[in-house]
Amino acid sequence: EEVGNIIDRAMVRVDDPNSPYHGWPLLDDEGWEDDDRTLSDEDGNRVAPIIGNYNPDFKLGFQTSISYKSWNFSMNIDWRKGGQFVSQTHRYFESDLTTQRWLDKVYDLSDVGDIEAYIRANEEEFLSPDGEFYPLVGGPTAELGGFPFTEDGLTLNDGVFLPGVIGDYDADGNFVMAQENIGGAGTQYHYYGDNYPWSFTKSSTFDADYLKIREVSLTYTFPKSIATRMGMQNLAVAVFSRNIILWTKAGIGIDPEAAFQSSGGVMSQGVERYNIQPWSIPVGIKLNIGF
């Protein structure tokens, strides 16, 4: 197995090939998703899905310097290409599904007359994917597709449901359906903000590519005559700044490099654990004097 693989749990699905529900998400009695925590089979072969690898394709550093007469401009650039990382900070940040990323992924089917028939007709989209997010139908408000949902005697239009099927297997391994969960009668609804996929890592795994301009400086070297007149061999003054630009492929406002640095004495390669620091851009002046 390749060093640096990031593994995840698999969503439990109906595995009876003779069942019309073969491949559908197999939900519990309350309509929640289930996850398979099996890492390897009896022969030791990996069965848990590999969702990425924290190793980069390459890392390059550039240092450039341009001089003109008494002036010198220098710049340091770092570039990382390839690999992924897991962000625990982002995971907790969007755990209540308050990010635009989640709002864009939830299916608003408020304009669909027969949701049950629509989902069945689009099975590949709603019942088969193992993508970044599992399909979720509904929304946080009625305007965004939410269903009426009652909790503690209070009814709001923030209900959602996970398309799938509820059931079990008989003694012969045949799947016995108890309830379809695709928007028809008996569908189990939940509160929108309570549906973050904590059991799965994929939703908080991002590309680790970045480009950084770590430092720039502009130096002026005074003429030798001026330095000698002041009793010096040479004299130069520079203005510098750091952290000028950070571009990340993930675009989530988190520096991927933090996933490869220790935090609180703990380090897990490829996992960023709540060690985000404010992005500061210091500016300074440096004076070089030689006697």
Q: Do 35 and 61 sit in the same domain of this protein?
A: no
* 163 in a structural domain: yes
pLDDT digits (tens, 9 = 90+) for 146-163: 999 998 999 999 999 999
Counting Cα atoms < 13 Å in the Cβ hemisphere of 153 gives 0
Whether the CA torsion 74, 79, 85, 89 is positive or negative: it is: positive
For residue 56, give both structure tokens.
């980069």
Q: Do 122 and 177 sit in the same domain of this protein?
A: yes
* 226 in a structural domain: yes
Where does a domain end: 195, 216, 243?
A: 195
**Confidence tier at 280 by pLDDT (50, 70, 90):** confident
Q: Kindly write down the DSSP assignment for every residue of 89-141, as one continuous string.
A: HHHHHTTTS-SHHHHHHSB--TT-S-HHHHHHHTHHHHTS--SSS---EE-SS
Whether the CA torsion 168, 173, 176, 179 is positive or negative: it is: positive
**Confidence tier at 279 by pLDDT (50, 70, 90):** confident
**Confidence tier at 250 by pLDDT (50, 70, 90):** very high
* 173 in a structural domain: yes
Contacts of 164 (CB under 8 A, 6+ apart): 24, 25, 26, 27, 31, 33, 127, 181, 182
Q: Do 191 and 236 sit in the same domain of this protein?
A: no
103 or 264, greater pLDDT: 103
What are residue 193's phi and psi, to 5 degrees? -75, 0
Find the mean pLDDT for residues 3-25.
92
Q: Do 115 and 257 sit in the same domain of this protein?
A: no
In one letter, which amino acid is 134? Answer: Y
In one letter, which amino acid is 4? Answer: G
Q: Lowest mean pLDDT: which of 93-97, 152-156, 182-186?
A: 93-97
Neighbour tally for 278: CB within 10 Å: 4
Q: Do 141 and 15 sit in the same domain of this protein?
A: yes
The tally of domains found in the chain comes to 2
**Whole-angstrom distance, CA of residue 258 vs CA of residue 241:** 21
Where does a domain end: 195, 225, 253?
A: 195
116 or 276, greater pLDDT: 116
CB distance 47 to 8 below 8 Å: no
pLDDT digits (tens, 9 = 90+) for 37-92: 777 777 777 778 899 999 999 999 999 999 999 999 999 999 999 999 999 999 98
203 or 73, greater pLDDT: 73
Query: Percent of the chain scored above 70 by pLDDT?
Result: 96
Query: Percent of the chain scored above 90 by pLDDT?
Result: 64
**Whole-angstrom distance, CA of residue 260 vs CA of residue 83:** 12
Among residues 273, 261, 270, 203, the alpha carbon closest in space to that of 55 is found at: 270
The mean pLDDT of the chain is 90
Q: Lowest mean pLDDT: which of 18-27, 77-86, 211-220, 255-264?
A: 255-264
Q: Do 40 and 132 sit in the same domain of this protein?
A: yes
**Confidence tier at 230 by pLDDT (50, 70, 90):** confident
CB distance 208 to 54 below 8 Å: yes
Question: Is the confidence at residue 169, as pLDDT, over 90?
Answer: yes
* 26 in a structural domain: yes
* 250 in a structural domain: yes
Q: Do 36 and 118 sit in the same domain of this protein?
A: yes
Find the mean pLDDT for residues 24-46.
82
Q: Do 80 and 223 sit in the same domain of this protein?
A: yes
Query: What three-state secondary structure class fits 142?
Result: helix
What are residue 237's phi and psi, to 5 degrees? -130, 140
Q: Do 29 and 74 sit in the same domain of this protein?
A: no
Q: Do 116 and 256 sit in the same domain of this protein?
A: no
CB distance 144 to 156 below 8 Å: no
Q: Lowest mean pLDDT: which of 80-94, 130-144, 192-206?
A: 130-144
Find the mean pLDDT for residues 186-204.
91
pLDDT digits (tens, 9 = 90+) for 172-182: 999 999 999 99
Q: Do 32 and 81 sit in the same domain of this protein?
A: no
**Whole-angstrom distance, CA of residue 245 vs CA of residue 248:** 10
**Given the DSSP bridges, would you call strands 164-169 and 154-161 parallel, antiparallel or unpaired?**
unpaired
* pTM recorded for the entire structure: 0.84
* 200 in a structural domain: no
Domain that holds residue 32: 5-47+96-195
144 or 133, greater pLDDT: 144
**Distance from the Cα of residue 30 to its chain's centroid:** 27
Where does a domain end: 165, 195, 225?
A: 195
Q: Do 135 and 211 sit in the same domain of this protein?
A: no
Largest CA distance in the chain: 99
**Confidence tier at 225 by pLDDT (50, 70, 90):** confident
CA distance readout (Å), 180 to 136, 201, 209: 15, 27, 41
